[in-house]
Structure 1
Amino acid sequence: MMLEDVKQEVYELLNNDNSGHGMEHINRVLELSLKFAKTENANKDIVTLIALLHDVDDYKLFGMNNAENLTNAKKIMSNCNIDKNIQEQVCLALNNIGYSKRLKGCCPTLLKEKLYLMQICAMH
């Protein structure tokens, strides 16, 4: 899996962000996510992708169309040749996590999503 390529594309997209969604935030989220993944024996690669991509379609940064369609996340994973099955798992997680989605009744169902939600709550 080309995780370094994904990280580079996320960097290019978010590096100039001043709203708190830049790479410093992404790296903190990634570090905490990997700690949870290790503790819970979750798939490290999928957790890494979720952590890296969690803000690349944030509606506050990229608009509702991107947020609803995961435009940037899908493009990045496709560009980096991420397996289609893994892309589907990551998109499912991305569609079900986040504070605003929680307010709308979306709730994580998979362990990796629950891990991610826990660390997001700890970060925000």
Structure 2
Amino acid sequence: MDSNDQLQKIERYVYQLFSDDSTGHDYFHMKRVARMTREISLSEAADEFICEAAAWLHDVGDKKLFANTNKAIDEMNQFLKSIQLTEIQIEKIHQAIQDVSFSKGNIPKTLEGKIVQDADRLDAIGAIGIARTFAYGGANKQLIYHDEMKDHTSIQHFHDKLLKLKGLMHTPTAIRMAKERHVFLENYLQQFLNEW
């Protein structure tokens, strides 16, 4: 089985897992992250296959999305073996995705991990990032905003995370891509507060 066939099977696997997600961590999020990862990996001379595979799979086992994270990861490993990935490839994918999460506060150890983290963070800012913020907030019964109780609102998430992401990019390609999206975030937030 060649790498293109394997990536198509990974995409279908991810579709089955995330097609009905309403928190902004759906199949289309994975697809955008995979596309951006592929683009960044070409510019940064990284392992394109590991980058793209890890991008598709980066949210498998996330505690926000899976009740049993260990089971989800075990099932993913079995799936990857079934499509003839080697133990080394599976290990590299795990290395690339283990530190992607913003909440962990870790910097990935591999270039491929840094690229996946950059692409995931790029999808959290800009117009789509804003839409995803409110989708996640609504799915988790979070207020949009509150004059007196700012914690745990979707707008507070801009300050807690989104506005910090531009400064946390690793690769020159992602740094360039983040600038425009960051400006959009700032403009949106100002407009929101003006209207509020």
Q: Which amino acid aligns with 2:119?
A: Q
In the alignment, what sits opposite 1:3? 7
Query: Of residues 20, 28, 36 in structure 1, which corresponds to 2:40?
Result: 36
Q: Distance in 1 between matches of 2:117 and 2:71?
A: 18
State the structure with bigger RCO (CA 8 A, min sep 6), 1 or 2. Answer: 1
Distance in structure 2 (CA, Å) of the matches to 1:30 and 1:100: 21
TM-score of the pair, normalised by structure 2: 0.56
* Superposition RMSD in Å: 1.8
Q: Could you give the per-residue CA deviations for residues 5-40 of structure 1, whole angstroms, max 9, x where no partner exists?
A: 111111111111111111111111111111100001
Structure 2 residue 101 is matched with structure 1 residue 98: yes
Aligned partners of 1:57 and 1:71 also within 8 Å = no
State the partner residue of 1:115.
115
Contact between 2:95 and 2:110, CA under 8 Å: does it hold in 1? no
Structure 1 residues 73-121: Cα deviation after superposition (integer angstroms, max 9, x where no partner): 323312322111000011112212211221xxx3211111111111222
5+ residue gaps, structure 2, are 125-196
Q: Which amino acid aligns with 1:107?
A: I
TM-score relative to the length of structure 1: 0.86
Larger proportion of helix: 1
After TM superposition, which residue ranges in structure 1, 4 or more long, deviate above 4 angstroms?
none
Change (3 A) 1:123 1:67: farther
Contact 1:59 1:67 in 2 (8 A): no
